[in-house]
């Protein structure tokens, strides 16, 4: 029997940036009904990134839906000085908060503040930021977010070099016995690349356009992403995975 490359299922985290805002509650409910347990909320300030999006009011509006389903509401803070808003987002209902290494000169303090609010701390790196930028903070975080597009907009093309970055990060987590840290990838994730990302060591896939693509129901889109992961695992042959990535075979 061919050993699977990865047996740990990848969690799909729909990014509501791509949802139909006129029907936001219904769209999120559809995702939750499909088994999603992590909702990704993109917060943009027109300063760190060249776009404006949503804030704590949207988080508090979604809170009852998430709590009813036992789902995590994750805010991706693409904003300057995120420390100023952690408390506000936590009180709005965010249970996971991800900040960018590029915006946080005192990252341990910021991560400690998120932990102090009883939320999952995450740290993101932009495509041009090396994995090594996470070295000192890895033991303190729950989620390492590897951006696969420059943040600021949904619907951008996936940057293929991300797959190598994810593999490097997975190797580092294995080497340091930090495999509990989730590797999340955000930007341009779709059925065509999700399998390769899973093989490289991704554990959470943020997906906006591919989940809220109006050509099919949300639940069907979520299942298509899961199926693309599963198909990749099943079809991997020993030759295709002659040198399995460290940590890619997880219970
Ligand atoms: C980009 C955001 C992403 C984005 C993902 O700045 O952080 O979460 O909404 O959307 P897609 O999947 O459309 O690239
Ligand atoms: Zn995001």
Q: 146: helix, coil or strand?
A: strand
Given the residues 42, 45, 142, 199, select the one marked as catalytic: 42
User: For residues 34 and 30, what is the distance between their CA atoms, to the nearest angstrom?
Assistant: 6
Distance (angstroms) between ligand 1 centre and the Cα of 15 equals: 6
pLDDT at 240: 38
Q: Is the CB of 154 under 6 A from ligand 1?
A: yes
pTM of structure = 0.92
Which of 248, 239, 249 is closest to 171 using CA atoms? Answer: 248
What number does the ligand 1 atom closest to the CA of 40 have? 8
* 213 classed as catalytic: no
Radius of gyration for the chain, computed over Cα atoms and rounded to the nearest angstrom: 17
| pLDDT in single tens digits along all 251 residues of the chain | 333 344 578 999 999 999 999 999 999 999 999 999 999 999 999 999 999 999 999 999 999 999 999 999 999 999 999 999 999 999 999 999 999 999 999 999 999 999 999 999 999 999 999 999 999 999 999 999 999 999 999 999 999 999 999 999 999 999 999 999 999 999 999 999 999 999 999 999 999 999 999 999 999 999 999 999 988 765 544 433 333 333 333 33
pLDDT at 6: 46
* 140 classed as catalytic: no
Distance (angstroms) between ligand 2 centre and the Cα of 56 equals: 15
Question: In sequence order, which residues have a C-beta less than 8 Å from that of residue 221 and are 6 or more positions away?
Answer: 210, 211, 212, 213
pLDDT at 248: 36
């Amino acid at each position: 029997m061919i050993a699977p490359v990865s047996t740990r299922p990848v969690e799909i985290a729909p990014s509501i940036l791509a949802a139909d805002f006129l029907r936001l509650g219904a769209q999120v409910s559809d995702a939750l009904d499909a088994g999603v347990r992590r909702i990704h909320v993109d917060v943009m300030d027109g300063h760190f990134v060249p776009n404006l999006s949503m804030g704590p009011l949207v988080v508090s509006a979604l809170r009852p839906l998430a709590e009813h389903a036992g789902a995590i509401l994750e805010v991706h803070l693409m904003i300057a000085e995120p420390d100023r808003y952690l408390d506000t987002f936590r009180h709005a209902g965010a249970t996971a908060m991800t900040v960018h290494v590029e915006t946080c000169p005192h990252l341990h303090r910021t991560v400690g503040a998120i932990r102090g609010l009883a939320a999952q701390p995450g740290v993101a790196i932009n495509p041009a930021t090396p994995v090594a930028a996470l070295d000192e903070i890895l033991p303190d975080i729950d989620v390492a977010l590897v951006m696969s597009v420059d943040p600021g907009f949904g619907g951008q093309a996936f940057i293929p070099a991300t797959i190598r970055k994810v593999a490097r990060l997975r190797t580092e987590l294995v080497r340091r016995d930090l495999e509990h840290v989730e590797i999340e990838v955000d930007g341009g994730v779709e059925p065509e690349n999700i399998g390769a990302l899973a093989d490289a060591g991704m554990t959470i896939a943020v997906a906006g356009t591919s989940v809220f693509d109006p050509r099919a129901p949300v639940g069907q889109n979520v299942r298509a992403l899961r199926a693309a992961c599963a198909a990749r695992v099943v079809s991997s042959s020993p030759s295709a995975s002659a040198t399995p990535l460290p940590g890619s075979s997880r219970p």
